[in-house]
Structure 1
Amino acid sequence: MQQYVLSKKSKITWISGMLIIIGFFSHFVLKNVWVSEGALIVASILGVAPIAIQAVQALKVKVVSIDVLVTIAVIGAFLIQNYEESAIVTFLFLFGHFLEQRTLNQTRSAIKELTEMAPESALRQMEDGAFEEVEVDAVDEGDILLVKTGAKVPVDGTVLSGEGHINEASITGESVPVNKTAGAEVYAGTILENGTLQIRADRVGEDTTFGKIIELVEEAQDSKSEAERFIDRFSKYYTPAVLVLSFAVWLFSQDIELAITILVLGCPGALVIGVPVSNVAGIGNGARNGVLLKGSEVIHDFSRVDTIVFDKTGTLTQGNPAVAEMEFYDGQAEEVLGYLASVERESDHPLAKAVLQEIGETTFSIVEDTKVVKGGGITAQVNGHRVAVGNAALMEQEHVLMDQKAQADIRRFGKNGNSLVLTAVDGELKILMGIRDQVRVGVKKDLEELKQLGVKNLIVLSGDNQGTVDVVARELELTEAHGNMLPEDKAAYIAELQQQGQIVAFVGDGVNDSPSLALADIGIAMGKGTDVAIETSDVVLMNSDFSRLPHALGLTKATARNMKQNIIIAVGVVAVLMASVFFSEWMNMSIGMLVHEGSILVVIFNGMRLLRYQLNGNRRRSGYTTSSSNEVVKTPLRTL
């Protein structure tokens, strides 16, 4: 019976409202007191039923809830035959709860949208080679799937064949479609806007990126921040205190109506709901914008961060070596580049891949008598010419003459943090290339935004040599730069910063970053990093989009401010109402309840503003967009 009554709470609300209208219409228009009082009595009894049930349930677990206060107040008003007050109080309380739930559901719309995006079926290749539609739960790792135009990608996987543009907004928050070809990664829940793809299932079910997003955000919304825990403790003692105050007022004044009014006005509804709605809205905004905030506590801690420590490779930089600078030493550039590409095709060294990527299409020659010089490079015969490709030590070994300009270029390239690739043909230096891991597109602007948000220290820690780290630090204008650091060194440095009283966030993406991510006050993982890093972190930037970091910090600061605003509104309204009871003539139960329910809606709508939050100067507004691919932006190449 109790569950049935509670399930019909919305209908009871509207019926009570209609009865109140009938009651007042009969009293003021029809002048029929019996019909008026009858309607108000039924409205009072009907309306208090679900409130009283919830009050009893709360008392069973030794909690004096808001429902207890309202139930006592309504019964008291009913007993003193103040039927208008009892009916109006129950209706306003139920109507406020109805609006509250409806509004809160809107703040959870980000999660609802995500779950609705979850794919339900997939086209799986059968043994005879044909594709058959199956439920997505039936797909196993390694299965070959077909995705057609307009369909959702059912799993995380790798494109085997085909080409198309995929909308990855559900994963990254970026609405610009991304081109996918053979070898590219695709994610469950994204939509193929055109083309046809055959993919191999790499991760299925809850293990997909999409599945983890839903799981993490739902867990985050269920968690409680320090402010929420404080309010829970406060309410635990505050509500009984209101009961005691009401009883004391009645004891000394013998004014039962005044005592009942205090019960109604003392309900801390806005205080209880204000902080959770801010957290839910903040987490929902993050989910829509490619930022996973793992809980309300994360919001509180992240908003106070004053020091951010970065890993270098894969975080501040692309993680892929590329040619950054180049010098030519004679006019036969095209021919020599062909020789260089022909030799580098014989090597699987990462620097060789960077050189080939830079040269692109060229004329290849037959390579003979190839020799790998350990720690130096490679030599070979190409079209009758002796070609040497490697570092300065190899050039010296090959007796390659280098004039003062070449030596100055080598020093300059080295100072800029480059790995050097020199190419000599028949003992003459022809090309000097500087290869280094490139800084991510737009990172410097992102770091400037972090400073504007109040971050005082931006520090990079890396296992690379100090010279390379210094180059990145100078380019990005970081506060400190430390190289040659092992994972344990990074963790020790973070612990030292914390001992100095700094609130530290660490941003990384690798397994070796996990200790630092766990130790820092806030661990921030790049979404394409390792599973260990993502699981250890408190915040995940989906698709490894560094530009989400300023938005995440700005969002948590806005959410923390919003919580404080809601607390001030809630406490202020209760204080004003209580003061009005004792120092004014106009305050009564109905007016008090109306103001009380209004304050609940005010804090809810204030919290919902976070759903529309965008960082000032956001790139989407200014027309600046970051690439969702791993394209490398190079400095202009100087040619002699």
Structure 2
Amino acid sequence: MKFQIRHEIRGRMRIHVIQSRMSFAQADTLQYYLEQCESVISAKIQNRTEDVTICYEGSKDAILEVLKAFSYEKTDVPDTYIKNSGREMNQHYWDQLVEQTFWHFGNKLFLPFSVRAVITTVKSVKYIWKGLQTLFQGKIEVPVLDATAIGVSIIRGDFATAGSVMYLLGIGETLEEWTHKKSVGDLARSMSLNISKVWMMCDGQEILVSADNVQSGDEVRIHMGNVIPFDGTVTDGEAMVNQASLTGESVPVRKVPDGVVYAGTVVEEGEITIRVREVNGSSKYEKIMAMIEESEKLKSSLEGKAEHLADKLVPYTFLGTGLVWLFTRNVTKAVSVLMVDFSCALKLAMPLSVLSAIREASTYNITVKGGKYLEAMAEADTIVFDKTGTLTKAQPTVAKIVSFNDQSEDELLRIAACLEEHFPHSMAKAVVREAVNRNLVHEELHSKVEYIVAHGISSKIGEKHIVIGSYHFVFEDENATIPEGKKEIFEQLPEQYSHLYMAIDGVLVAVICIEDPLRPEAVEVIAKLKKLGISKVVMMTGDSDRVASAIAKKVGVDEYHSEVLPEDKASFVEAEKNAGRKVIMVGDGINDSPALSAADVGIAISDGAEIAREIADVTVGADDLHELVTLKKISNGLMERIHRNYRLIVGINTSLIVLGVAGAFPPTTSALLHNTSTLLISLKSMNNLLDEKEEVTEENVAEAFA
């Protein structure tokens, strides 16, 4: 690629690409290429000017070599990346805003009054017809008020006021539509599938392959707790599939051979093999887009109340207009009331506030699946943490392997990893990682693997029955025994570790000691959450009381519960809610999914089980608990902004009505100030909540409007 350096400082460079025109697809291709480079921190591409701003780390020469090596033809970009980038949509709405502004003010400057009057009258037909349709439905809502204000202005010959009202209404509609589509698009992209590896069936064996290598017609095995990566038909097995993300069904659907499954749904119980029908990941994105567009989840209760209140206020605006005319017999004063109402600002500013907060959260790798969850987050006073992979590090490690038979540590670890690699739990991943670190390669010698939630794994190697999991599962459910003469070794197992027990044919063969260190930020995060309004912090874990109490003391929770089952977590959450508390549940595993569903806000952490991320109301992409603090701040800030907007809207519009009735303002000025204040409040509502460096008060915002 040929380019010129236009400006540079250490770690930042702005270049101009030498080409006649840069298309949206080319801009996205370059964006994708730069995002894949480890030395590039961020890149911003302006396709109209062919300018690229790059923030990078490392040497300038290295980044120049990266740019020189770029070629549109040689860069392989996923179709879904370009299709779902949003670049073309953003440009469309920006052009639309510019065009609306150009025509509005251009008409005033260059066209004679008679021509402007005709154009304004023609434009008004759309608004008047919409108002009549609403009226014919027996409703007196905002479209009726808009139509009346525009119609009365035209009848009085005040085409300037009618034109200004329609211009500001058009700008507001464009901004709302743009923000809504961008927020929904950002949300859908973050919810879309990000599956890199799948288990493909090959000659009766499960082979771990890249999802990109799967073709239509291939057979893929999906284990319990995993997301189904492709649309397809079940060829083997039986499973209960959670389809809530696509259909809204709360009850899992039974899938048997010849049944159809869809990408993005989750296997809650059992396991199935599917024949892939469609490998294009965009289908999942499109389905999510449709689901979000139709879902009420985007709306908080405050937002719904604002819309309802806006419509309820319309009749009172008409009543006020009639009373002013009745007592003053002054049409100008009556129209001044008609030009000012509370509904426009309420219906525009509130949705924009919520959608902008969702968009802002997405910039911190936080996916919020609806405005009502931000409201619940702000109101929450109790937070429940799972321990493993949540309060502790997402990557526990194997500290020690204790053998109880003649097999070596490596051989025992190889067997354990062979079973554990099928399941997305943090302790299972620790076993697999340790096997990889020791360069232990295994073949799939075992038969069908059965996963028992919150307990362990059962399978067979040849004729031998093998189980691996918790003490309760191995010794109480499976009745395993300790080999003769090994009792003392068993009793001296290090207490500071979590223990994973493995038995073959009912006899203990190994205990894998898992070190699960506390996240370094956990103590600080809990302290900050308490400052932000959380009064009760609880930790729940399936680990022993010995391990749980040590972690609880270190992290500073108010209470903890050990050796709990998934249903115990969900029951605790329900009990807290019944006691009148608003509950947040934070987890990452399959066993957390019932509690995530039960909580007012379920939050899934980073690299957890797919089912937890799918069921959760919020997912945190960053491997850092500080994002919980960020989410709480955004939620609290959103509620403060909504309440502030209420006060501003009532204060400003009440003042305009009083001044209009007093004769201080003509209808034209009242309409201009009303619509301008509505637009400014709406634009202010689109600002990032965490970027406001000083507390905004009603007074200084009102001053900004003056």
Which region of structure 1 is more displaced relative to structure 2, 510-519 or 203-212? 203-212
The CA distance in 2 between the partners of 1:249 and 1:225, in whole Å, is: 36
> How much is the aligned-residue C-alpha RMSD, in angstroms?
5.0
| Cα drift, residue 460 of structure 1 | 1.0
Answer yes or no: is 1:296 the counterpart of 2:371: yes
Q: Tell me the CA shift for residue 111 of structure 1.
A: 4.6
Cα distance in 1, alignment partners of residues 484 and 398 from structure 2 = 20
2 CA distance for matches of 1:544 and 1:14? 47
Aligned to 1:498: 577
> Who is 1:520 aligned against?
599
Determine the C-alpha separation between the residues in 1 that align with 2:105 and 2:146.
Answer: 17
CA spacing shift, 1:396–1:209, aligned 2, 3 Å: farther
Q: Which amino acid aligns with 1:91?
A: G
- Tell me what 1:180 maps to: none
Specify the SS of the correspondent of 2:515: strand
Q: Of 544, 547, 554, which residue of structure 2 is paired with 1:468?
A: 547
Question: In 2, distance between residues paired with 1:437 and 1:614?
Answer: 38
* Counterpart for residue 607 of structure 1: 685
Contact 1:310 1:508 in 2 (8 A): yes
The 3-state SS of whatever aligns with 2:129 is: helix
Residue 87, structure 1, aligned to residue 159, structure 2 = yes
Counterparts in 2 of 1:403-414, with a 5 A limit?
413-414=494-495
Q: Determine if the alignment matches structure 1 residue 109 to structure 2 residue 188.
A: no
2:142 is matched with which residue: 29, 43, 66?
Answer: 66
Counterpart of 1:303 in 2: which secondary structure?
A: helix
1:309–1:504 Cα contact (<8 Å) kept: yes
**Larger displacement relative to structure 2 (237-246 or 607-616):** 607-616
C-alpha distance after superposition, 1:521-571 (max 9, x if no partner): 212223544454344332222376644322222222222222222222222
Q: Is 1:52 matched with 2:128?
A: yes
Q: 1:142 to 1:219 in 2, by over 3 A?
A: farther
The letter of the residue matching 1:602 is L
Deviation track 1:34-76 (CA, whole Å, cap 9, x = no partner) reads x65x356435423422221221222233332334334333443
Q: Residue 152 of structure 2 corresponds to which residue in structure 1?
A: 76
Contact kept? 2:373, 2:617, Cα under 8 Å: yes
* Structure 2 counterpart of 1:257: 332
SS of 1:439's equivalent in the other structure is coil
1:482 aligns with: 561
Name the aligned partner's letter for residue 357 of structure 1.
E
Asked if structure 2 preserves the Cα contact closer than 8 Å seen for 1:69 and 1:267, the reply is no
Query: Matched residue of 1:63: which SS?
Result: coil
More deviation, 241-250/221-230: 221-230
1:330 — aligned with what?
none
Letter in 2 for 1:256: V
The residue that corresponds to 2:535 in the other structure is 456
Aligned to 2:349: 274
> How do 1:18-57 and structure 2 match up within 5 A?
18-21=106-109, 36=113, 38-39=114-115, 41-57=117-133
Q: Which residue of 2 aligns with 1:98?
A: 170
Counterparts of residues 66-465 of structure 1 (less than 5 Å)? 66-80=142-156, 83=157, 86-107=158-179, 108-109=181-182, 111-112=184-185, 139=216, 142=219, 204-205=279-280, 218=293, 223-266=298-341, 268-318=343-393, 322-323=397-398, 341=409, 344=412, 348=416, 357=434, 397=486, 413-414=494-495, 416-419=496-499, 435-440=514-519, 442-465=521-544
**Letter paired with 1:348:** A
Return closer, same or farther for 1:220/1:316 CA change in 2, 3 Å cut-off: farther
User: In structure 2, do the counterparts of structure 1 residues 399 and 606 end up closer, same or farther at CA, with 3 Å as the change threshold?
Assistant: closer
| Percentage identity across paired residues of the two chains | 22
C-alpha separation between the residues in 2 aligned to 1:531 and 1:56? 49
Partner of residue 596, structure 1: 674
Distance 2:656 2:134 in 1: 25
Matches of 2:563 and 2:670, distance apart in 1: 66
Distance 1:551 1:571 in 2: 30
Against the structure 1 CA distance between its residues 217 and 561, is the aligned structure 2 distance closer, same or farther, given a 3 Å change threshold? farther
What's the CA shift for 1:344? Answer: 4.8
CA shift digits 1:368-398 (9 cap, x unpaired): xxxx9x999xxxxxxxxxxxxxxxx889749
Deviation at 1:433, TM superposition (A): 9.8
8 Å CA contact retained: 1:17, 1:91: no
Indicate yes or no: 2:632 matched with 1:553. yes
SS of the residue aligned with 2:339? Answer: helix
Q: Which amino acid aligns with 1:56?
A: L
1:581 pairs, out of 660, 674, 699, with 660
Deviation at 1:242, TM superposition (A): 0.9
What SS does structure 2 have at the residue aligned with 1:569? helix
- In the alignment, does 2:619 pair up with 1:540? yes
- Paired letter, 2:314: T
Distance 1:419 1:244 in 2: 73
Deviation of 1:577 after TM superposition, in Å, equals 0.5
Could you tell me the TM-score, scaled by structure 2's length? Answer: 0.57
Contact 2:97 2:171 (8 Å CA) reproduced = no
User: Relative to 1, partners in 2 of residues 1:441 and 1:220: Cα closer, same or farther, differing over 3 Å?
Assistant: farther
TM superposition shift of 1:201: 8.6
Taking the aligned partners of 1:602 and 1:539, their CA distance within structure 2 comes to 30
Describe the shift of the 1:137–1:275 C-alpha distance in structure 2 as closer, same or farther (beyond 3 A): farther
Describe the SS at the equivalent of 1:471. Answer: helix
Counterparts of 1:269 and 1:356 in 2: how far apart (Å)? 57
- In structure 1, C-alpha distance between the alignment counterparts of 2:630 and 2:323, rounded to whole Å: 51
Given residue 467 of structure 1, which amino acid in structure 2 is its aligned partner?
Answer: R
- How far residue 276 of structure 1 moved from its aligned partner, in angstroms, is 0.2
Task: Check 1:213–1:289 CA distance in 2 against 1; reply closer, same or farther (3 A cut).
Answer: farther
Distance 1:115 1:359 in 2: 35
Distance 1:245 1:136 in 2: 68
User: How many pairs does the alignment contain?
Assistant: 480
Instruction: Report which of the two structures shows the higher radius of gyration computed on alpha carbons.
Output: 1
Task: Say whether the 8 Å CA contact 2:189–2:285 is kept in structure 1.
Answer: no
Q: Which amino acid aligns with 1:89?
A: T
Structure 1 residue 317: Cα displacement: 3.1
Deviation at 1:278, TM superposition (A): 0.7
Distance 1:136 1:573, change over 3 A: farther
3-state SS of paired residue (1:587):
coil
Please tell me the residue identity of whatever aligns with 1:60: F
Return the offset for 1:264: 0.6
> Structure 1 CA distance, aligned partners of 2:436 and 2:121?
84
